[in-house]
A and B are shown apart, each in its own frame.
Chain A
Amino acid sequence: MSTIQISHLTKRYGRFAAVDDLSLEIPAGSVFGLLGPNGAGKTTTFKCMLDLARPTSGTVLYDGKPLAPEAFEKIAYVPERSVLYEWMTVAEHLEMERRAFRAFDTKRAFELLAGFDVDPRKTARKLSKGMRTAVMAAIAFARNADILILDEPTSGLDPVNQRTVLSLIINEAAKGHSVIFSSHQVGQVERAAERIAVMDRGRMVLSGEIDELKADRKIVEGIFPSESYALDGLASDPRVAHVECTERICRVLVLSGADEIGNALAQRGAAGVRIVDLNLEDIFLYAVSPKTADADVVAGARQ
């Protein structure tokens, strides 16, 4: 078990910063979800965490120490694109893992493959995209690793197998292992993770515990009887992250203190005040693109 500390991590490719001054701490034994649009820097972050890419600056420490070669026994990594030898069978891949890692549980790997309905006698080249993902997952979860780093571990899987992978992540967490994973399926992160970070264009734009983010972040909506209303500096309140107003409706994204902001709107003449809960997808969208998110929330009109 180890706490992972990423400090001021920057990775540049020429002038392009794939990861730009990223700092975050992943407590031991937690499930951490990394979210972000394509090209946000999630994969590069994982590669830097694994020493597969050398950071331009900044550090990644495991319990205060840089990654030692022997630590690879303790870390399982599922890359975004499956790395399988096309001419080898699935069973041969398992044999290779068994030779490379002392703690590899071959029996468990075969059970997991059966659960995913993958025939271990097949050669890699005969596998569909989903099956390849399943093979990578089966290998990772049979490693008995303390830390699992999973880059899009459910991509290409059908809903049943996606759920299996989520259950496997939860099972690892119940054993006290750390799981760090990225996914475009926000709903999966919402179930399995307790903490998240959102990256956008190399930078971290949001991080925290999902439950706390949901408890704090709300949309407060005020409906005004006439067009001549004034917010009187409410927009510069530190709890207010974003304001979107039309003629009679003012919608405020608050980072905390929804009730007080609601009262403030009422004091400014709002006839009706509504506080709208946000799910993780809304919170994510607001973090990367407030405008799009607004349209979404209005269209959904969640109560």
Chain B
Amino acid sequence: MPAVLTVDPRSGVPIYLQIIEQIKRSVALGVLQTGEQLPTVKQLALDLTINPNTVAKAYRDLEREQVIETFAGRGSFVRNGGVSEAKTAISDVAAKAFETAVRDARALGLSKEDVRDLIERSVERWFPEER
């Protein structure tokens, strides 16, 4: 698990959000599978050298979003159905990235047509097999 998760404490993105996003990503991509155990709060805090309460907050949010479940004394696990929750969440992340990219392109003075062209070119580049 430590190999899957890294955080950048100096980023402007709150650390607990970085943890949430990366765990969702790992679950959505099958790096973490249903029923698989996550590191304990203490272990992850020590591995990443970050505040344990920050890790606990991330885990609580992941529980609320039904990606993971925690059993007292046993630890936290990827929940049954957590994969589809994580996939939905990850597509939200992608949507937000598009949102930012389009906003930035507009800020740079590109027209609607320019932006559409850019998106089309990216799609062709990253889905070559479906051309």
Q: Mark A residues whose CB is within 8 Å of B.
A: 29-31, 163, 166-167, 170-171, 173-174, 187, 190-194, 210-212, 214-215, 218, 223, 271-274, 276-282, 302
Given A271-B109, A272-B107, decide whether A170 and B46 contact each other with a Cβ distance below 8 A.
Answer: yes
| Chain A residues near B11 (CB-CB < 8 A) | 277, 279
Q: Is the CB of A273 within 8 A of B107?
A: yes
Also in contact, A173 and B109, with CB within 8 A (given A187-B10, A190-B10): no
Residue B103 lies at the interface, judged by CB distance under 8 Å to chain A: yes
Contact A210 B103 (CB under 8 A): no
A174 to B39 Cα, complex, angstroms: 14
Among listed B13-21, B71-79, B83-91, B115-123, interface-contacting one? B13-21
Instruction: Using CB atoms and an 8 Å cutoff, list the residues of chain B in contact with chain A.
Output: 9-17, 41-42, 45-46, 49-54, 57, 103-104, 106-109
A194 engages B104 (CB within 8 Å): no
Chain A residues near B41 (CB-CB < 8 A): 174
The closest CB in chain B to the CB of A189 belongs to B9
Contacts of B9 in A (CB 8 A): 187, 190-191
Contact at B109–A170, with CB atoms within 8 Å?
A: no
Q: Pick 20 A–B contacts, CB within 8 A, sort by A.
A: A29-B53, A167-B46, A170-B51, A170-B52, A173-B45, A187-B9, A194-B53, A194-B54, A210-B15, A211-B57, A215-B14, A218-B12, A271-B107, A272-B108, A277-B11, A277-B13, A278-B12, A279-B12, A281-B10, A302-B12
Instruction: Compute how far the CA of A169 lies from the CA of B54 in the bound complex, rounded to whole angstroms.
Output: 14
Contact B106–A277 (Cβ < 8 Å): no
User: Cα distance A99–B46 when bound, in Å?
Assistant: 31
Q: How far is the CA of A173 from the CA of B54 in the complex (A)?
A: 11
Which residues in B have their C-beta under 8 angstroms from that of A279? 10-12
